[in-house]
């Protein structure tokens, strides 16, 4: 895990080199072990290193081959690097034990198609002297970020937005499109970002940069690469294949030359990861969990049950809710891209790194791949109630208005909007499931009469009209929206704030491809993630499978009205710098929240607080 920076097709080489040095300093937290810079007449490449595999100086980057015939900077891990190394050894003389060198060898054999051979999480930039071309690539599921911007001084790219902003080449402006997306979903969906003009390279894509410009190509997407499983395959065969893929995924992600462990909440996903780690290795797995004095937040009985079952070297980090509260400003300071989520990842990453661990496995992705959220059940029920569309829209809309008046809440607001939709089906209603602020809210907040197109609706139209099974369609929507643009981005920025690498076994592309091809008859969640839990047999006890889902359900509303009151108000005041926002409406929302308006929950205000802090921190004007 590292950080990469660069400028291509620049005007002045010395100035470009200095700007890359500035970007390197800006992301020093991502790679405290080493830094480097290389340049020629097409590009300048920078790197900050967090050494995980082959920690010797041979692994420092930029990595050179054949007197700069090829040069690469790389963030992430190629988990199957040993298998690729054996495959490529006949035609390449390896000089190091790094996975970085495997990228070079793979590119020499397969060219840009090398990315199709990598199992891993990565963002890399590789310069090829023979073609005088730069290849910039990102992994299939978007675990590792890569931002870029086209400026008058060249194409600038980096692992973090703050590095791009440090160059002074990009106007620090939040546009209307970006703002509306953030207000809807507490994030900005790729390829956009919170800054107008700053883009993300999409997952499963690579960019080719030459003196003539750049092009972007897609090499993988979940829908077209899903497995096509024969109708005659039995459930037991499906379960066995899933177990084999899971085991292989965890085993590959345990490759490291530094101390590592796993996050253990005591939920199904993290418990399975820890169970498989213990099955694979004779060494005791190191596990970490946050526990709380307050019983309503505390999951320690479950994490301790798993730790005892698998005899892990367990470290419970006991906090009080107020301890978490005190870390919130630090978490917001660490945030590279604003997000309404993420503070919990900051806390667990902090204490894990302080325990001497540089890499940790996480259960992130289990809910998305194996239909663990309630939205899967809701979309299945909606599909089975197509008859609701026979009811005239005017009657449905009236029923929604009546519900809102009888029981005012955000939930009934959302239900009323659903009933007033043109169609009651997953394609039209899924985009509403994770929406924070609604279109009329956004119109008031932006003084805009024509709201920009909702990118989730565009994606929903494509995905729900594909030939995937219904639950797999919902999985793709979850993975390509909330997971990629909130969970994975938060995991990266909050863990790298502490120079900690997080690996996610449930997002092995082979596993994702296979599970997306499994029929709904096998996958339907009669119990939480039944397909997943059945695939690992009796690996984890029923107490874990049948337990209630908890998570970090802290008293945010209480905090925001009391301990965090002045902090929140100060951040909201900072939003005056965002010209596209109607600041008076922002403060009206805040007052309604403080007056216990049931239509304004804390989760509708907190993303605005986060945005205000981010605007102030990054001097957006």
- Given a contact cutoff of 8 angstroms between Cβ atoms, the answer to whether 287 and 302 are in contact is no
Sign of the alpha-carbon torsion through 248, 50, 189, 347 = positive
Sign of the alpha-carbon torsion through 492, 495, 496, 499 = negative
Please say if the pLDDT value at position 581 is more than 80. Answer: yes
Query: pLDDT class for 343, splitting at 50, 70, 90?
Result: confident
Q: DSSP alpha helices (H): ranges in 226-295?
A: 235-252, 268-280
pLDDT at 1: 65
Q: Which residue has the higher pLDDT, 521 or 220?
A: 220
Sign of the alpha-carbon torsion through 376, 378, 379, 385 = positive
pLDDT in tens, 466-493: 999 999 999 999 999 999 999 999 999 9
Q: Give the Cβ contact number of residue 205 at 10 Å.
A: 23
- Stretch 592-605: mean pLDDT: 94
Q: Cα(230)–Cα(244) distance, rounded to whole angstroms?
A: 18
- Given a contact cutoff of 8 angstroms between Cβ atoms, the answer to whether 574 and 581 are in contact is no
pLDDT in tens, 346-371: 888 998 898 888 999 999 999 999 99
Q: Would you call 621 helix, strand, or coil by DSSP?
A: coil
Q: Give the Cβ contact number of residue 519 at 10 Å.
A: 16
- Stretch 527-535: mean pLDDT: 90
pLDDT at 51: 83
CA distances from residue 91 to 86, 102, 131, 221, 491 in whole angstroms, order as listed: 10, 12, 21, 30, 38
Mean pLDDT (the chain, rounded): 92
Hey, what domains does the chain have and what are their CATH numbers?
Answer: 2-220 (3.60.20.10), 224-371+471-545 (3.40.50.620), 555-621 (no CATH)
Q: Cα(60)–Cα(51) distance, rounded to whole angstroms?
A: 8
Which of 81-90, 194-203, 335-344, 491-500 has the weakest average pLDDT? 335-344
Share of the chain above pLDDT 70, in %: 99
pLDDT at 552: 54
- Stretch 210-216: mean pLDDT: 95
Please say if the pLDDT value at position 377 is more than 70. Answer: yes
Q: Pick the closest to residue 310 from 348, 355, 272 (CA basis).
A: 272
Q: Give the Cβ contact number of residue 70 at 10 Å.
A: 20
Q: Cα(269)–Cα(99) distance, rounded to whole angstroms?
A: 28
Q: Would you call 143 helix, strand, or coil by DSSP?
A: coil
Query: pLDDT class for 497, splitting at 50, 70, 90?
Result: very high
Q: Is the pTM of this model over 0.85?
A: yes
DSSP string, 96-127: SS-SHHHHHHHHHHHGGGGGGG--EEEEEEEE
Please say if the pLDDT value at position 451 is more than 90. Answer: no
pLDDT in tens, 228-266: 998 889 999 999 999 999 999 999 999 988 889 999 989
Structure tokens at 325: 């509260």
Query: pLDDT class for 525, splitting at 50, 70, 90?
Result: low
Query: pLDDT class for 550, splitting at 50, 70, 90?
Result: low
CA distances from residue 235 to 122, 244, 473 in whole angstroms, order as listed: 34, 14, 20
- Given a contact cutoff of 8 angstroms between Cβ atoms, the answer to whether 360 and 263 are in contact is yes
Please say if the pLDDT value at position 551 is more than 70. Answer: no
Could you give the residue numbers annotated as active site?
A: 2
Q: Which residue has the tokens 């029920």?
A: 381
């Amino acid at each position: 895990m590292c950080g990469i920076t660069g400028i291509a097709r620049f005007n002045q080489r010395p100035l470009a080199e200095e700007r890359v040095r500035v970007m390197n300093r800006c992301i020093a937290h991502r790679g405290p072990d080493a830094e480097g810079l290389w340049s020629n007449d097409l590009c300048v490449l920078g790197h900050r290193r967090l050494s995980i595999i082959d920690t010797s100086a041979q692994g420092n980057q930029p990595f050179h081959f054949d007197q700069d015939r090829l040069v690469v900077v790389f963030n992430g891990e190629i988990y199957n690097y040993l298998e690729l190394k054996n495959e490529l050894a006949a035609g390449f003389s390896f000089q190091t034990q790094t996975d970085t060198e495997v990228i070079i060898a793979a590119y020499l054999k397969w060219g840009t198609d090398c990315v199709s051979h990598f199992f891993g999480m990565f963002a890399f930039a590789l310069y090829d002297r023979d073609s005088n071309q730069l290849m910039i690539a990102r992994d299939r599921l978007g675990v590792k970020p890569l931002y870029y911007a086209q400026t008058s001084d060249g194409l600038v790219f980096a692992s973090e937005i703050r590095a791009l902003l440090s160059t002074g080449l990009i106007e620090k402006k939040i546009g209307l499109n970006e703002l509306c997306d953030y207000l809807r979903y507490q994030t900005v969906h790729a390829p956009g970002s919170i800054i107008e003009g700053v883009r993300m390279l999409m997952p499963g894509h690579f960019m080719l940069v030459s003196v003539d410009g750049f092009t972007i190509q897609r090499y993988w997407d979940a829908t077209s690469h899903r497995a096509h499983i024969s109708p005659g395959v039995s459930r037991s065969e499906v379960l066995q294949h899933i177990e084999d893929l899971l085991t292989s995924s965890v085993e590959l992600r345990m490759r490291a030359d530094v101390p590592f462990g796993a996050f253990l909440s005591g939920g199904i996903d993290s418990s399975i990861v820890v169970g498989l780690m213990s099955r694979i290795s004779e060494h005791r797995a190191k596990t970490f969990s946050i526990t709380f004095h307050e019983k309503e937040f505390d999951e320690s009985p479950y994490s301790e049950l798993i730790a005892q079952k698998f005899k892990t070297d367990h470290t419970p980090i006991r906090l009080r809710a107020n301890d978490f509260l005190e870390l919130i400003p630090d978490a917001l300071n660490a945030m590279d891209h604003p997000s309404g989520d993420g503070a919990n990842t900051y806390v667990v990453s902090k204490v894990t790194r302080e325990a001497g661990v540089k890499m940790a496995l996480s259960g992130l992705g289990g809910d998305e791949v194996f239909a663990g959220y309630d939205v899967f059940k809701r979309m299945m029920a909606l599909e089975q109630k197509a008859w609701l569309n026979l009811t005239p829209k005017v009657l449905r809309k009236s029923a929604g208005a009546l519900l809102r008046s009888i029981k005012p809440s955000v939930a009934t607001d959302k239900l009323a909007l659903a009933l007033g939709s043109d169609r009651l089906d997953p394609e039209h209603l899924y985009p509403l499931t994770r929406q924070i602020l609604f279109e009329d809210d956004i119109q008031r907040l932006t003084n805009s009469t024509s709201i920009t197109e909702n990118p989730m609706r565009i994606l929903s139209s494509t995905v729900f009209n594909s030939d995937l099974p219904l639950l797999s369609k919902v999985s793709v929507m979850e993975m390509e929206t909330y997971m990629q643009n909130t969970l994975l981005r938060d995991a990266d920025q909050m863990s790298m704030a502490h120079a900690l690498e997080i690996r996610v076994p449930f997002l092995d592309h082979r596993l994702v491809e296979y599970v997306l091809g499994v029929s709904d008859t096998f996958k339907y969640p009669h119990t939480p993630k039944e397909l997943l839990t059945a695939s690992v047999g009796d690996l984890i006890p029923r107490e874990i499978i049948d337990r209630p889902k908890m998570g970090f359900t802290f008293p945010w509303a209480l905090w925001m009205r009391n301990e965090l009151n002045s902090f929140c108000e100060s951040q909201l005041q900072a939003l005056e710098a965002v010209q596209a926002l109607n600041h008076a409406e922002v403060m009206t929302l805040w007052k309604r929240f403080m007056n216990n308006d049931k239509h304004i929950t804390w989760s509708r205000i907190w993303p605005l607080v986060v945005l205000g802090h981010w605007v102030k921190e990054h001097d957006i004007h």
